[in-house]
A and B are shown apart, each in its own frame.
Chain A
Amino acid sequence: MSIRVEQIQKRFGDFTALDDINLDVQEGQLVGLLGPSGSGKTTLLRIIAGLEKADQGKVLFHGKDVTDLDVRKRKVGFVFQQYALFRHLTVADNVAFGLRMLPRKERPARSAIRQRVHELLDLVQLGHLAGRYPAQLSGGQKQRVALARALALKPDVLLLDEPFGALDAKVRKELRRWLRHLHEQISVTSIFVTHDQEEAMEVSDQVVVMSQGRIEQMASPLTIYEQPASRFVFDFLGHINALKGHYDGRRWQAGNAQLRLTTEGACPNGELTLYLRPHEADLSKTPSDSANLPVKLGARSVFGGTVTLELEALGWPAEVMEVELSRDAWQALDAQPGDTLFVHPRQLQTVTCDGNLGPRVTPA
């Protein structure tokens, strides 16, 4: 079932939580609402669910206006960050709750309920824990019970509010793969809220980046990453190094650092800021004609196949920079902390004078 959100406005007192939100979710998609805390993503999810009322605007499910439809009749499944399992009920009874609340006429027979609970618990791979109480489960297990419970009534729409927010890193990763997999199996239109970029990029078909009650961009993860629509999106998707300097039409300069590049959009007085992603640069022991960014090698951290280096600008004003090299490149570089090195950006993102994103450039 497709979801459409039209011109939603929501205020809490003086605080504008959502400002003119428009959103289209295609049937069967898994969409990630990504943004920092306070960006309004949870409020939007709760409005779609019907737990919260918008001040203005409409919510449509499959073209049908559900703005004023009671939450019980919307046929949504909802998963809370803190699980919200019924602590006095067993896992099986938690999953069966929605079925048991059905009016007598629609309620399946006892044996049918038991059968359905059994299926759902198998789906989330927790059949063996049916008799346990929530307090006896781990966080990951609890969230899977919550998911089974949300799916019990065969919802048209599944909404998940920071579903993995309370879990530790390893469990998180496993669980989101599993969610992705599950979504492929049951393909119910789903929206999940997260503040974790990696999570949004890995799980979603479409990512919606939100900031201060507005949608900054909605696109596939790849597009979001390669063609960010705004400075905020670029900024929010991982670490960036901001290089502030002057551009004279041929050269970008800051102190004794310089890059040869061709671009437009610098301020009239020549000020130009360049964004450099940590993995879009090489390091060497010598400058080149096109790039001369001297740095001193500081701390390094090795994780998986990547080596992350902290670099201190030498003789030019910049905050400590971060550059990621592959393990092989790091070994080939053969450098020690304290060594002077030169950064060679492969690609840079210009920020125009009005604060928007300009063209991407390569020093040459």
Chain B
Amino acid sequence: MHERPRHWHQWFLIMAAFAAIAILLVMPLALIFTEAFSQGWAMVQQNLTNPDMLGAIKLTLIVTLITVPVNLLFGILLAWCVTRYEFRGRKLLSTLIDIPFAMSPVVAGLCYLVVYGAQSVVGNWFSGMGVQLMFALPGMVMVTVFVTCPYVARVLIPLMESQGQHEEEAAIILGASGWQAFLYVTLPKIRWALLYGVVLTNARAVGEFGAVSVVSGLIRGQTLTLPLLVQMWNQDYNTVGAFTAAGLLAAMALVTLLLKTVLEWATQHSSDNATEQKTEQDTP
């Protein structure tokens, strides 16, 4: 277990950590809200009802609402593949999942621009079908999906690996179909971790800036998400507006943080039960 700090230098370290957090995290966060409210509540209200702002909120929500289910499904399938089957390239696959983590989002955006842009074969084909990928909603969704795709899988893989698959085997022997085994056995086992992954994906999808800014084309009133709007209004010297939009994002972040903490506790709690099973004393 943890020990209590006893010496002055131990206390000093702790104080330093708190100071760093106050200066680097809490103060900027507080400043966002003070700036947003610096010209009164009416101004905030005006900014919030601005058509650009409403458009950005709507667009952000649309992108997120598509991204999260797509990556939820993708994450489950990927985790299932990696933890349930033994095949050549399994290790490679679980390394490849991390590409979006390793790559700068701007680079990802550029890559998508090159592959799916109007000049490319793929982009050309789509535009022949009357679908514009880049500088429009489809492209923004695509890059957001790309950037956030590891989260669910990364949360699930270690958990599913540690849980093993005896319970699923037991279900199959008892006559459950593959789908029933997933629905009634696997899903309940991973539900908290899954929600945790969704919260992370959601947070990242809402806040994504780099990749989206490359493929959105920054068309006012059409392809601006909240983070892009913050940038745009800031450049327009609409500081209060920028901070209002930023405040919205920050509020979402705080909610995310709260959810994350709750879910971490829940995950921990349910895995505690699992370890308890092993250590508990045996009596007939």
A residues with CB within 8 A of B: 49, 51, 71-72, 76-78, 80, 82-88, 97-98, 101-102, 133-135, 138-142, 146, 149-150, 152-153, 167-168, 171, 174-175
Contact = CB atoms under 8 A, between A and B. Distances in A.
Given A84-B166, A87-B189, A140-B282, A78 B273 contact: no
A153 B166 contact: no
B174 A101 contact: yes
A140 B170 contact: no
9 tightest CB-CB pairs across the interface, nearest first? Answer: A98-B174, A84-B166, A139-B282, A140-B284, A88-B188, A135-B273, A84-B170, A138-B283, A101-B176
Interface of B: 164, 166-167, 169-177, 180, 184-185, 188-189, 270, 273-274, 276-277, 280-284
B88 to A, nearest CB: 12
Contacts, number: 89
A77 B171 CA distance: 11
A101 B175 contact: yes
Nearest to A72: B175
Given A86-B184, A87-B270, 8 more contacts: A72-B173, A87-B167, A98-B174, A138-B280, A141-B284, A149-B170, A152-B174, A168-B282
Contact of A97 (B171, B177, B280): B171
Given A138-B283, A171-B282, A86 B185 contact: yes
Contacts of B184: 86, 97, 101
A77 B282 contact: no
A175 B170 CA distance: 21
Contacts of A83: 277
A83 B171 CA distance: 12
A86 B175 CA distance: 15
B128 to A, nearest CB: 47
B11 to A, nearest CB: 40
A175 B284 CA distance: 8
B169 A138 contact: no
A139 B172 CA distance: 23
B173 A71 contact: yes
B167 A84 contact: yes
A142 B282 CA distance: 10
Given A101-B174, A102-B175, A82 B282 contact: no
A140 B174 CA distance: 21
A87 B274 CA distance: 8
Nearest to B280: A138
Given A98-B174, A101-B176, A153-B175, A84 B283 contact: no
Contact of B175 (A80, A98, A139, A168): A98
Nearest to B187: A88
Nearest to B171: A97
Contacts of B164: 82
Contacts of B277: 83, 87, 134-135, 142
Nearest to A98: B174
20 contacts: A51-B169, A51-B172, A71-B172, A72-B173, A76-B173, A78-B169, A78-B173, A82-B164, A82-B166, A87-B167, A87-B274, A97-B174, A101-B175, A101-B176, A133-B273, A135-B276, A138-B281, A140-B283, A141-B283, A146-B170
A97 B173 CA distance: 11
A138 B273 CA distance: 13
Contacts of A141: 283-284
Nearest to B172: A71
Contacts of B273: 87, 133, 135
A171 B189 contact: no
Given A84-B167, A86-B167, A142-B277, A171 B173 contact: no
A16 B126 CA distance: 53
Contacts of A142: 277
Contacts of A153: 174-175
A346 B111 CA distance: 84
Contacts of B188: 86, 88
A135 B269 CA distance: 12
A141 B284 CA distance: 6
- Tell which of B166, B169, B277, B280 has the most Cβ of chain A within 10 Å: B277
A109 to B, nearest CB: 18
Nearest to A84: B166
A77 B276 contact: no
Contacts of B282: 138-140, 167-168, 171
A153 B173 CA distance: 10
Contact of B284 (A71, A76, A82, A171): A171
Nearest to A76: B173
Nearest to B173: A78
- Tell which of B170, B171, B283 has the most Cβ of chain A within 10 Å: B170
A77 B173 contact: yes
Nearest to A12: B86
Contact of A80 (B166, B174, B281): B166
Given A82-B166, A87-B189, A72 B284 contact: no
Given A97-B174, A101-B175, A139 B185 contact: no
- Tell which of A77, A82, A152 has the most Cβ of chain B within 10 Å: A82
Contacts of A71: 172-173
Contacts of A174: 284
Contacts of A77: 173
A138 B171 CA distance: 22
A135 B171 CA distance: 18
- Tell which of B170, B174, B175, B284 has the most Cβ of chain A within 10 Å: B174
A152 B175 CA distance: 11
